[in-house]
């Protein structure tokens, strides 16, 4: 009940400040028509570690329609900072850096789903890799494999492997959906290992990932479709109100019609 009240308050505050908050957005190309699934997450402000997430689908008429319920999510313990994705790279303000405890803001493509299970839940249709004892994702900017998946020869592992391995037994990593922040190209020190994954508590923030309750993440994993080119947009409310038109995002007034 507390979570429902929280996300209701967050979205009400978001919709209630439209006229006062809108500023002129810089010129930017909208997300391409190939993007037919959108995960939209709105934070109350840049310092927020909690927000609300919605899913949208775009029809042949180009209009976004809300799918499912609004769900609570958690961000970095220090809020948000501009990341490196398909939108947001050229925005003024604080930039995401390795170890800063901030979630990268902007628009991002999705990559591979990494998980501990042999396969994704029934009904899912997205690139998947089962994590094994050889898999790693380095977060050291000096590592030549920084911010990318790498399989290691465990018969002769490098010194860094133990602290960078992906298979740790942590239940929060049952599924990890890759958010392609700082990926094209990779800039050492600009942030790494950004995923959707299962939260570790209702109010426990992250180091930069976006987390949610396990049932919500499972539903997200099943919903994603490779052919729909899903993207993730995460922004503070004030920035969403400024950028939604130029980025081709769902209108904040209203946010969309929910499918049953």
Q: Assign residue 12 the CATH number of its domain.
A: 2.40.440.10
pLDDT band at 107 (very low <50, low <70, confident <90, very high): very high
Q: Does the pLDDT value for residue 221 go beyond 90? A: yes
Q: Does the pLDDT value for residue 260 go beyond 60? A: no
Q: Does the pLDDT value for residue 255 go beyond 80? A: no
- Range in 36-40, 101-105, 168-172, 194-198 the model is least confident about: 168-172
Q: Is residue 95 part of a domain?
A: yes
Q: What is the mean pLDDT of the segment spanning 211-220?
A: 98
Q: Is residue 224 part of a domain?
A: yes
Q: What is the mean pLDDT of the segment spanning 32-54?
A: 97
Q: Does the pLDDT value for residue 23 go beyond 70? A: no
Alpha helices in 121-213 (DSSP H): 161-164
Q: What is the pTM of this model?
A: 0.88
Span 24-36, pLDDT tens digits: 445 568 999 999 9
pLDDT band at 41 (very low <50, low <70, confident <90, very high): very high
Q: Is residue 259 part of a domain?
A: no
pLDDT band at 19 (very low <50, low <70, confident <90, very high): very low
Span 158-193, pLDDT tens digits: 999 999 999 999 999 999 999 999 999 999 999 999
- Determine the angle formed by the axes of helices 237-247 and 2-16, rounding to 10 degrees: 60
Q: What is the mean pLDDT of the segment spanning 102-127?
A: 97
Q: Is residue 144 part of a domain?
A: no
Q: Does the pLDDT value for residue 7 go beyond 70? A: no
Q: Is residue 161 part of a domain?
A: no
Structurally, the chain folds into a number of domains equal to: 1
Q: Which domain holds residue 110?
A: 2-131+167-247
Q: Is residue 151 part of a domain?
A: no
Alpha helices in 53-169 (DSSP H): 161-164
Residues constituting the chain: 260
pLDDT band at 18 (very low <50, low <70, confident <90, very high): very low
Q: Is residue 186 part of a domain?
A: yes
pLDDT band at 54 (very low <50, low <70, confident <90, very high): very high
Q: Does the pLDDT value for residue 20 go beyond 70? A: no
> Average per-residue pLDDT in the chain?
90
Q: Is residue 142 part of a domain?
A: no
CA dist 41 and 54 (Å) reads: 6
- b/e map 117-155, b = 16+ CB within 10 Å: eeebeeebebebbebeebbbbbbbbebebbbebbebeee
| Most distant pair of Cα atoms in the chain: their distance | 61
Residue-level pLDDT at 29 = 86
Positive or negative: CA dihedral 141, 145, 148, 149: negative
């Amino acid at each position: 009940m507390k979570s429902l009240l929280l996300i209701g308050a967050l979205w009400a505050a978001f919709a209630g400040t439209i006229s006062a908050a809108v500023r002129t957005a810089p010129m930017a190309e909208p997300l391409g028509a190939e993007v037919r699934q959108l995960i939209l997450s709105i934070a109350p402000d840049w310092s927020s570690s909690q927000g609300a997430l919605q899913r949208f689908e775009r029809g042949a008429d180009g209009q976004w329609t809300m799918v499912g319920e609004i769900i609570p999510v958690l961000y970095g313990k220090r809020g948000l900072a501009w990341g490196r994705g398909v939108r947001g790279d050229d925005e003024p303000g604080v930039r995401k850096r390795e170890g800063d405890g901030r979630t990268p803001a902007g628009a991002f493509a999705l990559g591979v789903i990494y998980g501990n299970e042999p396969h994704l839940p029934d009904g899912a249709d997205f690139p998947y890799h089962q994590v094994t004892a050889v898999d790693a994702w380095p977060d050291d900017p000096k590592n030549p494999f920084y911010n990318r998946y790498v399989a290691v020869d465990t018969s002769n592992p490098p010194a860094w492997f133990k602290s960078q391995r992906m298979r740790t037994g942590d239940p929060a990593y049952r599924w990890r959906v890759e958010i392609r922040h700082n990926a094209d190209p990779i800039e050492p020190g600009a942030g790494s290992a950004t995923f959707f994954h299962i939260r570790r508590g209702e109010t426990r923030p992250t180091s930069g990932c976006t987390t949610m309750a396990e049932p919500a993440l499972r539903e997200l994993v099943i919903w994603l479709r490779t052919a729909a080119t899903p993207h993730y947009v995460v922004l503070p409310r004030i920035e969403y109100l400024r950028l939604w038109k130029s980025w081709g995002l769902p209108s904040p007034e209203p946010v969309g019609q929910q499918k049953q």
